[in-house]
Amino acid sequence: MQNITINWDSSLPYLMANPQFAEDPIFKELSRFDRTQDKRYFDRWCWTLMFSLHPDSMYNNLPKEERLKKAEELYNDGAELYKSSSIEKDTMLLKVKDYLLTILFTPEERNLRILIDKLDERNAFLENTPYILTNAQLVDTIMLNTSKIHTEIGKVKQLILNGNVKEAKGGSTKSMADSGGFDEVYDEA
């Protein structure tokens, strides 16, 4: 995973803070839904998506629902376009979200994020479910299987650590500079 967003200053318009997205067709398509002259809703959409998805976000360690809620509270400002939902706009927002997840995370990192989000959902369910005779067996089973999820999360984290050394995103081979191959060549000389 590489840091794609350079500037986290959300007081700036998103594309001014992060010009690397200015010519991206996905972002151009999303911006057409914002009819305001200063593209303020487009900026809020982009900041919300980045603050709720990017691994370097200040909200990354919050559970999924809290992370989304916090990002929306801070960066949407009750935008009218969010209130007036259209199928086309909603589809485009999902398309941008999927695109960002693809460029920000390797498949293993996306899998890890899903596991952690599901663990948060499981914890919320257990917290809100009373322990009574009719559901005691279900609650016990869920609690016992939680350690299996923690084990799986550990395996995926290890896979990510090992995978980052051997393989670049998209399954390609890392260059000699990225993999440290030049260091080995210079050490031999």
Q: Read off the pLDDT of residues 64-113 as tens digits, 9 standing for 90 and up.
A: 778 777 766 766 554 444 444 566 666 767 777 777 777 777 788 888 88
Reported as a pLDDT band with limits 50, 70 and 90, residue 132 is very high
Of residues 61 and 166, which shows the higher confidence score? 61
Closest CA to 146 of 119, 124, 117: 119
Reported as a pLDDT band with limits 50, 70 and 90, residue 128 is very high
Instruction: Decide if 125 contacts 152 (C-beta within 8 A).
Output: no
Of residues 171 and 113, which shows the higher confidence score? 113
Find all residues with CB under 8 Å of 115, minimum gap 6, and list them: 149, 152, 153, 156
CA 57 to chain centre: 9
Tokens of 82: 């969010």
What was the pLDDT predicted at 185? 44
- Quick: pLDDT tens for 2-50: 456 568 888 888 888 888 888 888 888 778 777 778 787 788 778 877 7
Residue 21 is given by DSSP the state G
What was the pLDDT predicted at 141? 92
Tokens of 15: 């594309």
Find all residues with CB under 8 Å of 34, minimum gap 6, and list them: 40, 41, 42, 45, 81
CA 142 to chain centre: 26
Reported as a pLDDT band with limits 50, 70 and 90, residue 137 is very high
Least reliable range by pLDDT among 80-89, 110-119, 126-135, 178-187:
178-187
Q: Which residue is associated with the tokens 């030049």?
A: 182
What was the pLDDT predicted at 11? 84
SS3 178: helix
Virtual torsion, Cα 60, 64, 67, 68, nearest 10 deg: 130
Confidence check: pLDDT of 177 > 60: no
Confidence check: pLDDT of 169 > 70: no
What pTM value is reported for the model?
0.57
